[in-house]
Structure 1
Amino acid sequence: MKRFLLFLVLGTVLSSAAAGPRLLREWTFEKPDAAVAIRNGGRLSFDPLRDSSGNPVLEVEIPKKPGNYPVVLTFRSEIPLRKGRKIEIEFEVRSSQPCRAELQAADSAPPYSHRARSQTFDIPASWKKHRLSFVITSEAREALSLPQILFREVPPGARIDFGPIRVTDVTDAVPRPAFYETRAGKEWRPVDTSDLAVKAGAALDLSGLVDRSPAGTWGRVTVDAAGRLVFEKRPEQELRFFSIQLLPGSTIGMQYMSHTEVEALVETIVRQGYNMVRIHGPGRFLVGPGRGAALKNQDSFPLPETADEIEFDPEAQDRLDYFIYLLKKNGIYINLDGLVSFVGFSSEVGLSIAARHSNSAKVQMFVNPARRRNWTAGVSKILTHRNPYTGTALKDDPVLALFQYYNEQDIRLDLRDYADAFQPLWIEFLQRKYGSYSALYAAWQGRCGDVVLPPAGSFAQVPGVSFKVARTDTPAGIDMTRFQAERELEMTRFYQRETARIGYRGLTTQWDMATRLVHLPARAEMPVITMHGYHAHPSGYGGSRGITLNQKSPLAEGGSAVKRQSTARWLDRPYLITEFGFVFWNRYRHEQGLIYGACASLQNWNGIACHCNQAVLYGDALVSFQVGHDPVGRASELVTAFSYLRGDIRPSPHTVEIPISEEFAFGGRAMGAIPDELSRMWIWSRIGLSFAGRYRAPVNADLRITPDGTAQTGGSDMFEEIKATRGTAGLERYCALLKKHGILRPGNRSNPACSLYESDTEEVAMNVKTAELAVRTARLEGAVLKTDHPVKLDALTIERCSVPASVTLLSLEDAPIRKADRLLAVIATDARNSGMRFSDEEETTLEAIGTLPVLVRTGRFRLTIDRPDRAEFCAYALKLNGERVAELPVTGKAGKLILELDSGTLAKEPALFYELIRR
């Protein structure tokens, strides 16, 4: 009788669920749960880390050696479900190695019959939220594994973190659309991208922003005794480089250009204001098109070991020579990568290898003499080749301002398997340090991570280096970080010796990707520090279905990538950001121009380079990183050119030093980075670090702040992320210190508790809570807005801004906005391809990349400009190349100019640039 009544009650509950969504189960991982299990060799742990919302995390570790069957993670629901029920599963996930997995609903006991169609989902390096739904296709005999996750395509050794998993019956919920699409209409209008070469004399022509004397007129670029980047023959002026990041091969197609087309490309590089080009991947370009094939055996392949064995295509070499000649002629300097390829230098263009393969050059260069000979051969061939147009080899030509040995070679134990390649050197390191195995056993207390060492063992039985152990503060972990630092230091000295032997005497750099403290000893050898960093780096490249990208605002994260880059700077030597970007299709990438212009100017960095190909001759469909095709990217670059290169935003007059001692870095913290609270100080004053009390030049700091801990890091092969902090207690303490020492004056509006930050120059203000930024200078004023509300700057008031946008007004003359006869307004919103589709409402997951024409998001705007002289102005909407496309009315009233527009109704096409000229 009791059983019958229980069945009736349960049946009532199940039938009542038909009224709408019903939560079936939620796993929060507060503590171990017997309903959570793993099969086929995987390991589970409840990690003390937290997901992006602060919830506990379940960590899954995939075996390093794959078994016969893929790892399966099961969550037993204890709830049988009838055929036809629609189930929705929500969760957040990330992986140490971006990959894909498969979600299933299956019986929880053998033979594990599937009760719904499986679905795949991607697992990027940073936290991503998924919401997947499916229909139960057959009756379950009893409880289900709901969900069941199959790791079929996951790399060996990967670590995967799950946040809370929520399972809901949504049978009668309102159905969601299959995808979300961007279509032409009033909100999104097409813009002409057929001709993107900036026209001479147009308002967008920035060729006059810098001295265009031929490169080398003032001697080589060098570093003076004060640690400043200067010309040899003009040491009184510190240099700033506004750089284009150029991939000359497939994405630009320079090998197919005529000399006339190369000339046109250089002309538009000049007119967009650039005075440096970072040539990325010259070795791959010089091989030329049409040769080679993908490697069939990634474990073993031959590579040339002498310069004579490497064949460069004569036409590709000619185009590069002519390009460099034109750059030199126009006062544009070069930052050159030695090696970019994961393979090495070859005579075959198609060679490729998995980025994380243990045989990639990024691992083998540390240990393999043949790979080192290959590097020397390729670099020597590039640097010693005599350019027939300049009459000089690059090694001797002052046009080459900076040479990087190998792009992003930083040791990443969390991403690549170095253990086997490093094992002989690792054993040698331990033997050198401890002398005997017994001494090591005692120092390590018999353990290396989870491995219990044999008391009477040998060095050969010690586990290889691994991220899991290196990130701990155990004796074994500390030794691993010391070993890693030693390897990078030895690698640096090899590069220095070989480059000197080749005959290059200019500036060099290396270790430009990761900001963990473990990299400091090798970076200390560099005369110039460089760094990379991105906001919303996608999970893949191109326009493939399933690629993901976050839609967060950089300002909502306190500046995003600029934070991490600001604390990677060394105060005693030059510093350049040689890759950055707020990446398409992030809807808030319009923030980039003002954020990077403000940060680079306040910090007085020596160079910045957005990635990539910012200057192009004609348009194409938008894809991530191809900035020259993106109207929003072009607008951001122009704003940065004025704010940073022209110097409209003043540098901070104050310096805060972050001293890092060797004991602090290698006392169990080496795999961490500078804490987020310190990096958020970028807006307050000039900040940077010093290491081990050794300085290449004097550092006159107004204040020193020693970190009391480190931050966790993550990312992928192509970028790094720093774990952000939500609290403001540390920032409030630092703000009080800066006010106490007079770095921030008493009237400064900074109040971290209220999410308000203002620079010591009081020209830049940021509200993290509203994700807004304001810049007020004599020749440039602008703001990033999220909602439609008036913003009073100085001469400019933004009275209307109907969509999230960046709005900037600047003087095109050497006169303040209130007096200039020629002004330029830049209004950047968002841009997409026609028919661009997403599989989720947040537009984070790509369904289809879309096609031309490019669509620009429209809006309604009203700008009021103070003009005490009551001058009359006219205005023109401009095309992306600077051509005037339509005249707009400018009204005058009581000493103010008023420009009011609706870009959804402008004649011909919407515009991002508006030229205002005095009549």
Structure 2
Amino acid sequence: MKSLLSALATTLGVAASGAAAAEEWLPVREVSLEIRPGSPLDFSGFLPNRPIGQKGAAASQRITVRPDGRLAFADAPGEPARLFCASLAWSPASGGFPDHAGADRYARQLALHGYNIARLTFIDASLMIGRQKDFDFDPETLDRIHYLLAALKRNGIHWIIDGMTSWHGAYGGRDERWDPAGNLKLALYLDDAAFAHWKALVEKFLARVNPYTGTAPIHDEALALVILVNENSAEFESVVHDRRGKPPYDPMFAAPFNRWLAQRYASSAELAKAWGGLGWSEKLEDGSIRLPPDRYADSPRLRDLQAFFVELETASVAKMSAALRALGYKGIISTYNNWPTVQTALSRRGLEAVTMNTYHDWASGYAPGSKLTQQSSLGDAANSVRMAAATRWLGKPFIVSEYDHLFWNRYRYEGGLVFPAYAALQGWDALCRHAHGPIALAYGEPYPHKRAMLPYAIALDPIARAGETLSALLFRRGDVATSRLTIPFAVRGEADLGPDMQAREPERLTELALLGRIGLQDADSIGERIAVRQPRDANRPDAIVEKLKADGLLPTGNLTQLSAGLFQSDTGEILLNRRDRQMRLTTPATEALAFSAASLPATLKTLTVEGADGDALVALASLDAPASLANGSRFLLIYATDARNTGMIFRDREQRVIEDFGRLPVLIRKGHVDLRIGRSARQWRLSPVGLDGTVKPAAASGTGPVAFRLGNDLLTGPTTYFLLELKD
């Protein structure tokens, strides 16, 4: 049977390759991926990081919350800070924390790429690998983490740190630290011993003096945010622990749920009336009310369980936050950083800052048979962005602690435009594309997760890396303007809960996030402003758009037509065409187009894409200071198609199901695009730029109007970057 399945998989893999026979794939030739200082990919000159903790400047470099809820550096409170975040989620499979020399190189490279904050997650798992006793941190790993934190700080990179990430915390004797088999996250809500374990973990790591900084991280001005526990909402954790034949909710919730019900209802009869009946053996008086048997079967029982979870989660935040403050922490606290439901929105209502994780085309894993959908993020009108936007509470900092447009989705060239552009439009405070690490120093590192591109890892993927390069410009540099329009989503409180445990903000209403800022707001504080009211099904999004136009909140000539799948921001800078799978960005410093080849030609203000041989992303960004497409002379040109590993095999023609991820070298899909730049020059030159920033010999040059065919099949090897230089 095993040999038969193998033969079948191979046959299907050949068929999948045959379906893509028209595509050609070019092997990446670079080995070193370290950006060369002073190269076109070195952004540290115009995106300098502020020194942290230098003598006399410690307090001024702390990240603070402004009165309007935006984050800012304490020495520049008038200017909102856009924090471009490097995700550091290392494990042994991805190489673990680097040694001292490696940390110095890595932190410096992050600064060159434009990162000014880093999120460290699964620290607890790394510290406890192979340890048999509770809190017996591996001394070498602890030393490496401490040194890395110091190296980041020296390079002006602040920190976001999880209080706890692993389901096993710092318990000894656990074999697989990244396996969600442990029950600690759920136990934290109800068990004093579990809470004491979390508190001790925080104290033993965050409150321990770092010998390389001379202070404990919890007191360090570099620590901007603590996420109490990663992805810890009660419903989500219950879903994570779903197993066939097992009840959907842990029995530990039964007794406290019964006590909660007893405070709400005077008798079994009253409860039965509210729920439409009870089971024959259920009695409120003896605490025998059962937890819902099915989380997907809507019921009044599920409605009350949601209300119970809100109170439980709110109390948990207060208790954990108090413990962190008692240790002397003065920074920002958040938690419940995923799960965009109405219930979790209510639990986040009182947080100091909202953090959120969101993904486009979630991949089910690394094993053969893992799946994704191969859907376009433009084809679903940036739903993962809209989903996150609808979890924000207006007036509070909003941090995207994880996002990605996942490998091996063929449309992930869209991710580097869609997410940073809309994050900037929304005025979000920090943006973190999830990865083991966002960069690698070289191809060919001898670790299992570095031998090929994989989901949830972007460092080896030239398409994702091109997107992060663009993100540094659009989001951190501020090339995309924040919307002047705010559309509140009214929240009443528990009255908004219904019988559906999975209920979230309706997609037809979250499309408003493609026009301007959206977020949750207490209904009583909204007044007569244009808003999404309760109940949600009473709102007509078309009517809201008409009202915005009539009141002048959307400019005359705004092209938005919801029914046609056409969405233009109030700033006029972003235009998304859902039906054509095309997104246009037009700003003074950068223009970009993510497109299906069938949607061309497309003319922006400066950049015209006349045609292409396949779907791709093209972006033109000024490298001058000040950045200007109209007057600048040096431009970074990004052209991203797709990339895959050598020898990848799929089980189906649509390439949705993976059989074998293959191996290095990475292959970039061959392509070309015909471009015209709305400038004339006495002389112009186009040069390929290697993935390490090295400028290669010119591929094209000319005089007068700037127009050329841009291809990635080059004598020096394929790339996603080009340098365009104009001399007037």
TM-score (norm 2): 0.91
Q: What stretches of structure 2 of length at least 5 have no aligned partner?
A: 242-247, 444-449
1:837 is aligned, of 649, 663, 668, to: 649
The within-5 A match list for 1:523-562 is 523-540=348-365, 542=366, 544-562=367-385
1:918 alignment partner in structure 2: 726
Q: Is residue 769 of structure 1 aligned with residue 605 of structure 2?
A: no
The 1:199–1:348 alpha-carbon spacing in structure 2 relative to 1, beyond 3 Å, is farther
* CA deviation string 1:3-28 (max 9, x = no partner): xxxxxxxxxxxxxxxxxxxxxxxxxx
Where 1:480 maps in the other structure, the secondary structure is helix
The whole-number CA distance in structure 2 between the counterparts of 1:455 and 1:642 is 60
Q: Return the match for 1:312 from 137, 144, 147.
A: 137
1:376-455 → structure 2 map (5 Å cutoff): 376-412=199-235, 413-416=238-241, 417-447=248-278, 452-454=279-281
Q: Which amino acid aligns with 1:269?
A: L
Contact 1:785-1:806 at 8 Å conserved across structures: yes
Give the corresponding residue for 1:262: 103
Over residues 446-481 of structure 1, what are the superposed CA-to-partner deviations in whole Å (9 max), with x where a residue is unaligned? 23xxxx335878543321245537x6352x332212
**1:279 — aligned with what?**
120
Mapping 1:581-596, distance limit 5 Å:
581-596=404-419
Match of 2:474 in 1: 643
Return the offset for 1:796. Answer: 0.9
The verdict on how the C-alpha distance between 1:386 and 1:588 changes in structure 2, with shifts beyond 3 A counting, is: same
**Quick check: 2:51–2:61 contact (8 Å CA) kept in 1?**
no
Unaligned 5+ runs, structure 1? 1-115, 122-132, 135-174, 293-302, 305-309, 712-728
1:181 matched to which residue of 2? Answer: 17
The DSSP-based 3-state class of the residue aligned with 1:322 is: helix
Look up the match of 2:564.
754
Pair 321,756 (structure 1): closer, same or farther in 2 beyond 3 Å? same
Aligned partner of 2:658 in structure 1 is 846
SS of the residue aligned with 2:287? helix
Does the Cα contact within 8 Å between 1:363 and 1:418 map onto a contact in 2? no
Query: 5 Å matches for 1:442-591?
Result: 442-447=273-278, 452-454=279-281, 458-468=285-295, 472-474=298-300, 476-540=301-365, 542=366, 544-591=367-414
TM-score, structure 1 length as denominator?
Answer: 0.73
Number of the residue aligned with 1:706? 533
How far did residue 354 of structure 1 move? Answer: 5.6
Stretch of structure 1 that moved more, 217-226 or 796-805: 217-226
Deviation of the 1:847 alpha carbon: 1.3
For residues 509 and 638 of structure 2, the distance between their equivalents in structure 1, rounded to whole angstroms, comes to 32
Task: Summarize the Cα distance change of 1:225–1:564 in structure 2 as closer, same or farther, 3 Å threshold.
Answer: same
Q: In 2, distance between residues paired with 1:421 and 1:120?
A: 42
2:138 matches 1:330:
no
Percentage identity across aligned positions? 28
1:305-328 CA-partner distances (Å, limit 9, x unpaired)? xxxxx1222221221111111211
Using the alignment, how far apart are the partners of 2:168 and 2:282 within structure 1?
Answer: 41
| Largest Rg, 1 or 2 | 1
> Which of 37, 43, 46 in structure 2 is aligned with 1:200?
37
Residue 669 of structure 1, CA deviation:
5.7
Residue 638 of structure 2 is aligned to residue 822 of structure 1: no
Say if 2:361 and 2:409, in contact at 8 Å, map to a contact too: yes
Structure 1 residues 286, 442: closer, same or farther in 2, change over 3 A? same
Asked if the contact 1:284–1:349 (Cα under 8 Å) also holds between the matched residues in 2, the reply is: no
Check the 8 A contact 2:282/2:289 in 1, yes or no: no
SS at match of 1:409: coil
> Does residue 861 of structure 1 match 2:666?
no
Residues 13, 650 of structure 2: 8 Å contact kept? no
Equivalent residue of 1:321, what SS?
A: helix
The match for 1:805 is 616
Check 1:701–1:800 CA distance in 2 against 1; reply closer, same or farther (3 A cut).
farther
Q: CA deviation at 1:792?
A: 0.7
1:229 match:
71
Cα distance in 2 for partners of 1:344, 1:312 equals 11
Separation in structure 1 between the aligned mates of residue 589 and residue 2 of structure 2, nearest angstrom = 60
**Cα shift readout 1:77-97 (whole Å, capped 9, x = no counterpart):** xxxxxxxxxxxxxxxxxxxxx
> Using the alignment, how far apart are the partners of 2:416 and 2:158 within structure 1?
22
Select 2:423's aligned residue among 600, 610, 626: 600
> Which residue matches 2:244?
none
Instruction: State how 1:62-77 maps to structure 2 within 5 Å.
Output: none
User: Structure 1 residues 821 and 314, CA, compared in 2 at 3 Å: closer, same or farther?
Assistant: same
Give distance in 1, aligned partners of 2:484 and 2:523: 25
Distance in 1 separating the partners of 2:389 and 2:314: 23
**Take 2:75 and 2:277, find their aligned partners in 1: how far apart are those partners?**
60
Whichever residue aligns with residue 119 of structure 2, its letter is R
CA deviation after TM superposition for structure 1 residue 700, in Å? 9.9
How far apart, in 1, do the equivalents of 2:284 and 2:700 lie? 85
Letter in 1 for 2:725: I
- 2:184 maps to which residue? 361
**CA contact under 8 A between 1:245 and 1:279: conserved in structure 2?**
yes
Change (3 A) 1:179 1:350: farther
What is the aligned partner in structure 1 of residue 691 from structure 2? 880
DSSP-derived class of the 2:92 partner: coil
SS of residue paired to 2:417: helix
1:395-443 deviation digits (Å, cap 9, x = unpaired): 1111000000000001225554434011111111122222433443344
Corresponding residue of 1:661: 492
Partner deviation per Cα, 1:319-339 (whole Å, 9 max, x = no partner): 111111121122111000111
Q: Which amino acid aligns with 1:322?
A: Y
CA, structure 1 residues 415+397, in 2 after alignment: closer, same or farther (shift >3 Å)?
closer
**Which amino acid in 2 is paired with 1:180?**
A
> What displacement does 1:549 show?
1.0
Q: Which amino acid aligns with 2:110?
A: I
Q: Greater RCO between the two (CA within 8 Å, min separation 6)?
A: 2
- The one-letter amino acid of 2:416's match is G
Aligned 8 A contact 1:184 1:834 in 2 = no
Q: Secondary structure at the match of 1:873?
A: strand
Q: Distance in 1 between matches of 2:233 and 2:45?
A: 38
Residue in structure 2 matched with residue 80 of structure 1 by the alignment:
none
Q: How far did residue 917 of structure 1 move?
A: 2.1
Give the helix-richer structure, 1 or 2. Answer: 2
Q: 1:705 to 1:377 in 2, by over 3 A?
A: same
CA distance in 2 between partners of 1:455 and 1:360 (Å):
27
Q: Distance in 2 between matches of 1:897 and 1:178?
A: 43
Q: 1:503 to 1:431 in 2, by over 3 A?
A: same
Superposed CA offset, 1:17-55 (max 9, x none): xxxxxxxxxxxxxxxxxxxxxxxxxxxxxxxxxxxxxxx
3-state DSSP of counterpart to 1:629: coil
Deviation at 1:179, TM superposition (A): 4.1
Q: Which amino acid aligns with 2:615?
A: P
Alignment CA distance shift 1:700-1:314 (3 Å): farther
Q: Any idea what SS the aligned residue of 2:226 has?
A: strand
Does structure 1 conserve the Cα–Cα contact (< 8 Å) formed by 2:207 and 2:327?
yes
1:740 matched to 2:554: no
2:647 maps to amino acid: G
Amino acid at match of 2:298: T
* Partner Cα distance (1:415, 1:857) in 2: 36
Contact 1:892 1:898 in 2 (8 A): no
Cα distance in 2 for partners of 1:409, 1:209 equals 38
Give, in angstroms, the shift of residue 265 of structure 1. 0.5
Deviation at 1:349, TM superposition (A): 6.7
Q: Are the structure 2 counterparts of residues 750 and 254 from structure 1 closer, same or farther at C-alpha, using a change threshold of 3 Å?
A: same
